[in-house]
Amino acid sequence: MDLASDVTSIAHVIQLSIAPVFLLTAVGAMLGVLSSRLSRAVDRARTLEGRVKTATDAEPSILLGRQLTALGRRIRIIYSAMVLCAVCALLICSVIVIAFASTLAGAVLAVPIAVLFIGAMLAFIGALLLFLREVHIAITTLHIGTP
C-alpha cells in the first residue's frame, strides 16, 4: 500500500473508534456514580457498626443489624456492578486496539471485534441491572418517618 491509502485507512479506523471512546466516557461516568454510592454505603455501615457495639436495648440492636445486612447486600451489588463496568471498559479498549491492529496488519478481524463489542454491551447491561437492583434495595430499606 502507498502512504496515502495507509493514512486514509488509519483515519477511517480513528473515525470508527470514536463511538467506542464515547462509550468509555459513559462507563467512566457510571463508575463514578457507583464509586460514590459505594463510599456512602461503606460510611453508613461503619457508623451503624459503631452504634451496634454501643447499643444497650435489644430491639434497636436487631433493627441496626437488619440495616447492616441490607447495607452489606448493597455494597456487594455495587462492587459487582463496578467489576462489570471495568470488564466493559477493558473489552471496549480491546475493540479499539484490535481495530487498529487489523488495519495495520491488513487482516480482517471483524468477528473478534463484534464478539468483544457484544461482550462489552452485555457487561454494561449487567452493570446497569445491578445498579437498578442496588437502588431498589436502598429505597425499600429506607424508613422515613418510622420510629
Q: What is the pLDDT of residue 57?
A: 66
Q: What is the pLDDT of residue 106?
A: 80
* Domain carrying residue 105: 3-38+77-140
Q: Which amino acid is present at 18?
A: I
Q: What is the largest CA-CA distance in the chain?
A: 82
pLDDT in tens, 84-124: 999 999 999 999 999 888 888 887 888 999 999 999 999 99
User: Nearest-CA neighbor of 6 among 97, 104, 110, 99?
Assistant: 104
- CA gap 117, 99 in Å, rounded: 11
Instruction: Please give the tally of structural domains in the chain.
Output: 1
Residue 118, domain member (yes or no) = yes
Residue 127, domain member (yes or no) = yes
Are the CB atoms for 74 and 113 separated by under 8 Å? no
Are the CB atoms for 40 and 75 separated by under 8 Å? no
Residue 132, domain member (yes or no) = yes
Instruction: Give mean pLDDT, residues 57-80.
Output: 86
User: Nearest-CA neighbor of 17 among 71, 82, 90, 98?
Assistant: 98
pTM assigned to the model: 0.82
Query: What would the DSSP string read from start to end of 83-115?
Result: HHHHHHHHHHHHHHHHHHHHHHHT---HHHHHH
Instruction: Answer yes or no: is pLDDT of 55 > 60.
Output: yes
Residue 109, domain member (yes or no) = yes
